Chain A
Amino acid sequence: MSFSSDLDEPSASVAAEEPRAKHLSPRVDQDVHDAPTEVDAPEREPPFAADRPPPARSDAMLQQLVEQGLSLIDPEAKKIARQLGHLADHDELLSVGRGALVEAARSFDPERSSFGAYARKRLRWAMFDSIRRDTHGRSLAARASALHAAERVVDAALATPPDPTLPESAHARRLAEVVAAQAAAMALGLSAPFLGTAEERAPEPQVRTSAGGAGPATPTPEDLLMRRRCAVALRGALQRLPPKQREIVESHYFGEERFDHIADRLGISKSWASRLHAQAMALLFEALRDHH
């Protein structure tokens, strides 16, 4: 299992450089200088969203950060294994985590977050990405993809703490929007790998727990059928997305293209791609809900 140095990373830059943007929808960001307006194309990237180069750091400082983060690897690996149904290989996750920690130490910007929080996110996302690429079965990869997708939504959507001057109802609307986008992201991550006929896909391995029973992530035929139906419905709903959002979702979930590669290809920052992704998930949820 290899670890690539430019795996997609949490979009802390949006959080730091877009302090007043509060919603998933670009149309409610109009009070933010340089943010998209009703006149601008909603998908146009504002200058503040550009990715910043990692800060220069000496070897000694890198070493210090790595040592600080070492204790995070094992708990996160165990947690992911548990969340995926104890089917992920713990040693492989540890190996990926060690590589990701070095990258986190290199790219960490102390002006944007604590190292612990940043490193934890980098570790988890690298582990998810590794599971997706070196798949041990589509179900495990699908669950990793689902968790990764939902965390990406939260990372992009919750750029700032709740504004205490706003009424509860405003926070409640925002909460509903974030949960809906998380749910849509998870549904997409879970179901997209199952689009296509059974003949087009490799057979799903029967994963068994140490006790000998079917592993908790092993899907039944009914689960698979429903995931495929869900994928079909979600893919159909993509038509309701703006072009760039549609391209991101289509390429990442149905084309299995890496998120950072998509951002490069579209000529946008990874932070902005994450933001568009979060908006797309909110729109997909609405489309699916309307459909039902």
Chain B
Amino acid sequence: MSGSSAHDSLDEDAPSLEEQERKFLDAQVDTALAAFDSSLSQKDLAWMRERLLEAFEDDPALRALARAACPRDVDQSGEILRGSKRR
């Protein structure tokens, strides 16, 4: 899959997904494809997986969504680690 989707004003030359984002996306795709584990062959599932991940590399709209959805590290998000109340 390819081509930019609806919000075409996004920069098509925006940097590709980072390692952390790619791993997060891999997990999302695997979760979705698991629903078809018993109804499609491994060959078809592998082809779908490849195409889905490729779409995220190609499409700036999908890339932006994956980037926004990927959990940040604590030092990036600004969250403060607090001690557990249960001691």
Task: Kindly count the residue-residue contacts between A and B in the assembled complex, taking CB atoms under 8 Å apart.
Answer: 168
Number of interface residues of A (CB under 8 A): 61
Q: Which residues of A contact B54 (CB under 8 A)?
A: 83
Segment at the B interface, from A9-17, A89-97, A205-213, A238-246: A9-17
Nearest chain B CB to A169 CB, angstrom units: 9
Measured between beta carbons, the chain A residues less than 8 angstroms from B31 are 176, 179
User: CB-defined interface of B50-77 with A at 8 Å, one 1/0 digit per residue?
Assistant: 0110110001011011111111100001
- Do residues B1 and A175 form an inter-chain contact, with CB atoms below 8 A? no
A121 to B8, CA, bound (A): 11
Interface residue? A220 (CB, 8 A): yes
In angstroms, how far is the closest chain A Cβ from the Cβ of B52?
A: 6
Give bound CA distance, A288 to B33, whole Å: 11
- For chain B, the count of residues having a C-beta within 8 Å of the partner chain is 45
Chain A interface SS verdict (over half) = helix
Instruction: Return B63 CB to nearest CB of chain A, in Å.
Output: 10
CB distance from B18 to the nearest CB of A (A): 15
With A113-B8, A223-B41, A226-B44 known as contacts, the answer to whether A179 contacts B52 (CB < 8 A) is yes
**Quick check: B35 and A175 within 8 Å, CB to CB?**
no
A191 at interface, CB cutoff 8 A: yes
Q: Which residues A150-197 have CB closer than 8 A to chain B?
A: 150-151, 154-162, 164, 166, 168, 171-172, 174-176, 178-180, 182-183, 186-187, 190-191
Contacts A151-B1, A154-B55, A160-B6 known; 10 new A-B pairs at CB < 8 A: A79-B2, A151-B55, A154-B61, A157-B5, A162-B65, A168-B69, A175-B66, A176-B31, A220-B41, A223-B44
